Homo-oligomer: A and B are copies of this chain.
Amino acid sequence: MKFQDFIDKVKLAQSKGELISFFCKCAITYSGRAESYLDFGDRLIIIKQDKTLLIHQPDGGMPINYLKAPASAEFILDETQEKPFILLEGRSGADEIDCEITKVYDLYSRKLIDGLKQDLAGSEAEMSDYIRDHPEIISKDFIPLSREEHTKYGFIDVFGHTGDGTLLIIECKRYTAGLSGVTQLRRYVEKMKSLKGIKAVTGVIAAPAITSNAMEMLKDWKLDFIRVDPPKRFVRKNKRQKKIESFF
């Protein structure tokens, strides 16, 4: 594709508020929170409708370069060498990407209509909901008082007390709990002890598993681990359907 065609297509697509996607050969210099250089290769570049910029290599899940919305772009021509490139700039001007493009293979754009948000289940928030609604999985006499609460002690997943009046802080982890989860819990317990002047405060890690180092630290600090599996909400679709085609 000729460079002028490319410019014309991008401008037209932009004016219509379309998402733009193109394959090209380019070299990329990024300067902002970090700095990077990537020499010439084929990449997929996407400019979303909110002017998010994504640059993807042919493999891997993460973009190799990106700019948060809204990014701006302008074409620049190096006066001496006549190398065209695109200068992309982040909103604040703190981030910028020089994308030197030597070939544009294809450019496709379309206005995508989609204002929907995903309904996600299985988060840590739902796990703390579940514990609040099933306090018996923590202990027979556990009485939850609050959940997902931002306190001056920190963001506490579940908070309550046991029959003998001991305050109990629960830190939920959806996966194997590690050292950082234990230090986080310990911080909450300590802070509540010192600020309330109460000694009868304890903490529990609620997670499906815990690493051995974390378990050791937990014991050192007289904290507890209770195995809790994160709840699931949706049921999988019936897989017994007629197969049409199968590939890769």
Contact = CB atoms under 8 A, between A and B. Distances in A.
Contacts of A183: 180, 183-184, 186-187
A148 interface: no
Contacts of A184: 180, 183
A75 interface: yes
A23 B245 contact: no
Interface stretch (A134-142, A156-164, A198-206, A235-243): A235-243
A243 B85 CA distance: 10
Interface in A93-141: 96, 98, 105-106, 108, 110-123
Q: Say which size band chain A's interface belongs to.
A: 35 or more
A23 B112 contact: yes
A226 to B, nearest CB: 21
A46 B23 CA distance: 12
A74 B41 CA distance: 31
Number of copies: 2
Interface in A26-50: 29, 31, 33-44, 46-50
A151 interface: no
Given A49-B58, A183-B187, A42 B112 contact: yes
A209 interface: no
B10 A247 contact: yes
A50 B54 contact: no
A196 interface: no
Given A34-B122, A41-B112, A57-B114, 6 more contacts: A35-B233, A37-B119, A76-B244, A77-B242, A78-B242, A180-B183
Interface of A: 7, 10-11, 14, 19, 21, 23, 29, 31, 33-44, 46-52, 54, 56-61, 64-66, 68-70, 72-79, 84, 87, 96, 98, 105-106, 108, 110-123, 154, 174-175, 179-180, 183-184, 186-187, 217, 232-234, 236-237, 239, 241-248
26 contacts: A7-B247, A21-B44, A23-B108, A34-B120, A35-B122, A36-B118, A36-B119, A36-B121, A36-B234, A37-B118, A37-B234, A38-B116, A41-B114, A44-B46, A50-B60, A54-B56, A54-B61, A75-B244, A77-B242, A78-B242, A79-B241, A108-B108, A180-B184, A183-B183, A183-B184, A183-B186
